[in-house]
Structures are given as C-alpha cells and as structure tokens.
Amino acid sequence: MQKADLTRQPRARRFVDQAEAALTCALEFSGHVVGFETDVVQTPAALFQKAAHPALGVDRFEQLDLAVSAAEQCRTYPLVDDGRLPLEREPESVAPEAVGGVEVGDHDSDVMNSLEHGALLYRSMALPEQSFGPGRVRDAETLSQPDLQALDPDRTVAFCAVSALEVHGPHLPIGSDYHQAIWMADETARRFTEQHPDWTAVRFPPLPIGTDELPLAGSINTPPRVVYRVVRAFGEQLARAGFRYVLLTNAHGGPRHAAALEAACRVVSRRSGISMFTPSIRALYLLTRGLAFDRVEASIGRDLSEAERAGLVSGEHAGAWETSWYLAKRPELVAPEFKSLPADEPPEFRPIARVGSWIAAGLARLGRVEAAAQLRMVAQSLAGAVGWALNSRFGYARGGRRVSYHGAPAIASPEIGEAYAEVSVELCLEDLEAVTSGRLDALDVRSIASDPLLIQPHFPRVVAGVLGGVALLVALALWAF
C-alpha cells in the first residue's frame, strides 16, 4: 500500500495530524484512569522517541479489505454471500521468534498481521469439534459456504476472544489473559447451545491484541486505535455476512483496551443494526472488586477465609484470581514458586497522587463530594499507572526491582480458580440470555470502561482537532490583523 504524501497536504491538516500524534503520545501516561486492573503505558523515553515521528495524517485502515463502505453498511446480506468470510483462510506456518517488549505500530500491515497471528495461536484452549446443526458449536474456519448459508441468523451467535499477550509475573505465561478469554468464549458458547438446542454458536479465531499492557519484555502492546479498528472492522464484516448476534470475550483489564472493545461494539451495533457486545469486563470487575464473593462461596461450598478475601481484592494482575484460574484449568503452566511469592503492588507516582488529593479536598470543602471522590479515584489510578510505567523502565521506587504482578498469588488454589471460572461464565451467560431474548439492548451492556472520556479511542483525535481548530483561528486572526 502507498504511504500518505504529507508534502501535498494543507498546512492546517498537517498541523492537526501532528498535534494528534503528539497528544496520543502524551496520553500514554494517562491510560489507567478508572480500570480495575492497574495496567500501564509507555515510558518517557519511548514517548519522546515516538513524538519525534511525523503524524501519518490519513486513516489508512479504511483502505483494507476488512473495511466496509458507507453504502455497504446499510445493506442486508444473508449469512454469507458469494465471497468468503474474513479470517476464512488457512493459517501459514510461522517460525517462532524471540519475543521482546514489542509495540505494534498503527499501520495497516500490523492490523492484518494481528488477525493472521490470532488464527495461528488459536485452539490452545478450544473445545472438541461437534457435529454441525442446531444446538452445536462450530469453528468458523471449518464451515463451507453451504454450511454458513444453512444457519438461521436469528438463532446464531458469533463468538470471538479478543485479549492480550502480556507479562504476568514470574509464574504465569504471557498468554494468561488470552487463554482465559478463549476459555470464556468456548464455555459460554457450549453452555448456551446446551440450554438452547435450536441455537448455533460459531467460534471465530481469537485476536491476540491488547493495549495498556505492562511495558516489560514479552508484552505485545498495540495502540488503542488499532484495537478499536480491528474489532470494528471484524464486527462490520460479521454484520455484512448476516450475523445478528456477536459476543466478544476479554480477560485483559487495561482500561483503554476494554474501552476500545466496547466502543467498537457500540458503533457496529448502532450502524449495522446488530447486537454486538462484550460482557467480560463487567463480569470480571464484580469478581476482582469482591462484589461477587457470595457467588464464589456458593460455588466452592464454603466461606472464604479473611486471608483469602484480603488477598483476592489486593490487586489482580497475575495475583490470586488469575493464578487460581491456571491452577484449576492449566496447572502445568504455573511455576511452582508461586507459593513463595509475597504480595506485591506497583509503586505510586506520588506527585500526581498529592495534587489529586489536594484538588479533591478543595472540591469536598465546596460541597462537591461526589466529584471529589471521582477525582481522587482518577488521581490514584493515574499515579499507579505512571508509577508502574516508571518502575518497569527505570526500577522507580523499588530500588531497581521491576514489579511484574499485582496481588497475592500465594493464596491461590484450584477450588478458587474453578469458582472464578464458573462465576465469570455465569455472568456472561446472563448477559447473553438477556440480549438474545430482547430483555437487554446490546448497547446497555456497559462496564466502568464505557464512559470515561480520557480512555476512549477517539479522545486524542477529538482533542487534536479542537486544538488544531483553535490554532487555525488564531493564525487567521493574526493574518487578518
């Protein structure tokens, strides 16, 4: 594909694009505003290096075959037309390479590579093949065109896992979020079709992409806009093919990752008239915040001890919940030393926390208690995100030691892991049942990542546009006078 010729763009357009790129770099430090998992962003050195590059200035993603024209978005199609579904191609054999800390660029080739890579990594947690027909779970890439045409769009749900490859302490694999999301999609599909024999579930290869990842060697980070574009393009193609229900699963708590998935689902649902949603984060939030302990205790058949309760809410990045999940589902992937790991957490960048507390105290004195509480939460989250980013790069506040997990993995157990998995699927099933029965609009499947403006994928572009507009008006005023 041809790169954009920046020299031919108007100066105002280039200014807006460059301002957008610079703002995007600056916002890398503000990723963790209200997320439930203290995920992190780019380091200062990486930000300054990235800021030195010019903005591309065009949305090249729209040139991909995955993009749908405005006219096509308004058309109605059967479940498959004369063409092929996206991702319906045989994965190529790729030799493994050494993995370092990778930042995936915001380019069209990187978007396509993410999709292809998902097909290559798929099936590590997949369910056995089932015979085709109503009440069955089928893999999209194995279906022929007649198979797809035989599906009833009113009783078919497409499932896809979209989650990160990220460092999870010294004891869990980088595919922790990825494996959990795949299992959640597979198990939700299996149970739903068992309860509704006249429905069919179609599993698509998972997408191993994520943003707001821990910036340590081994994490594969993708810009939020790329995550948004991939998910939106994927959903638009499913809608074009005739799917009316699409459920995405995710186990990565990066705030901008969850926001990008939810934003893409909302856009596809509104513009294409289908029900595309992702219930995972609102389910996992209840668990990791200790708001579903009653369901966990009912599942394991006993009360949680005080030590277990404290450990489970002490933080969740390779902590007690995720370590327990692996002990229950993939114990061979858990390093034995997890039992000796002490509780750990990322350092706080204190200047941000102090300024936030000072402003929040002022708001409280003015009677704006709710605003003060929200600001204090945002400041604490941002302080943790920046502190973890600085720690990952420079060993900040820990004497050079890099923090790679948050929580208390030593209290993990297989029974807690089974309960964690069970409750997460139950909560996803509840949303799926409500959406397919018409009791809940897919647009109302929202989490704590749905609304905060700072973490939305379009925020840098909106602010850059506003700044560019202001700069243009100032320039015109100076020229006129």
Span 394-415, pLDDT tens digits: 888 888 889 999 999 999 999 9
DSSP 254-318: -HHHHHHHHHHHHHHHHHH-SEEE--HHHHHHHHHTTTTHHHHHHHHTSPPPHHHHHHHTS--BS
Average pLDDT over residues 408-428: 97
Residue with tokens 């990952």: 392
Read off the pLDDT of residues 341-396 as tens digits, 9 standing for 90 and up: 999 998 988 898 888 889 889 988 998 888 888 778 777 777 887 888 888 888 88
pLDDT of residue 193: 96
- pLDDT tens for residues 301-349? 999 999 999 999 998 899 999 999 999 999 999 999 999 999 999 898 8
**DSSP sequence for 130-182:** --SSTT-EEEGGG--HHHHHTS-GGGEEEEEEB-----BTTTB-TTHHHHHHH
| CA distance linking residue 383 with residue 389, whole number of Å | 10
Q: CA-based diameter of the chain, in Å?
A: 78
pLDDT, position 114: 45
Among 106-110, 165-169, 300-304, which stretch is predicted with the lowest mean pLDDT? Answer: 106-110
103-117, 192-206, 283-297: which range is least confident on average?
Answer: 103-117
For residue 101, the model assigns a pLDDT of: 46
Cβ-contact 349, 383 below 8 angstroms: yes
Pairing mode, strands 245-249 and 200-203: unpaired
CATH number of 43-287+417-452: 3.40.50
Confidence (pLDDT) at 311? 95
Hey, which of 130-144, 166-180, 384-398 has the most confident mean pLDDT? 166-180
Cα-only R_g, the chain: 23
pLDDT, greater one: 139 or 469: 139
User: Which percentage of the chain shows pLDDT scores above 70?
Assistant: 72
Mean pLDDT of the chain: 78
Q: Please give the share of the chain, as a percent, with pLDDT higher than 90.
A: 49
Q: Which of 251, 252, 261 shows the shortest CA–CA distance to 226?
A: 261
pLDDT higher than threshold 80 for residue 108: no
- Per mean pLDDT, which range of 7-21, 193-207, 224-238 is the poorest? 7-21
Instruction: Output 147 or 279, whichever has higher pLDDT.
Output: 279
Q: Check pLDDT > 90 for residue 121.
A: no
- pLDDT of 174 strictly over 60: yes
For 465-472, what is the mean pLDDT? Answer: 84
pLDDT at 194 over 90: yes
Please name every residue paired with 103 in a beta bridge, in sequence order, or none if there are none: 221
Q: Is 399 left (phi over 0), alpha (psi -120 to 50) or beta?
A: left
Predicted pLDDT of residue 43: 36
- Mean pLDDT confidence for 419-424: 97
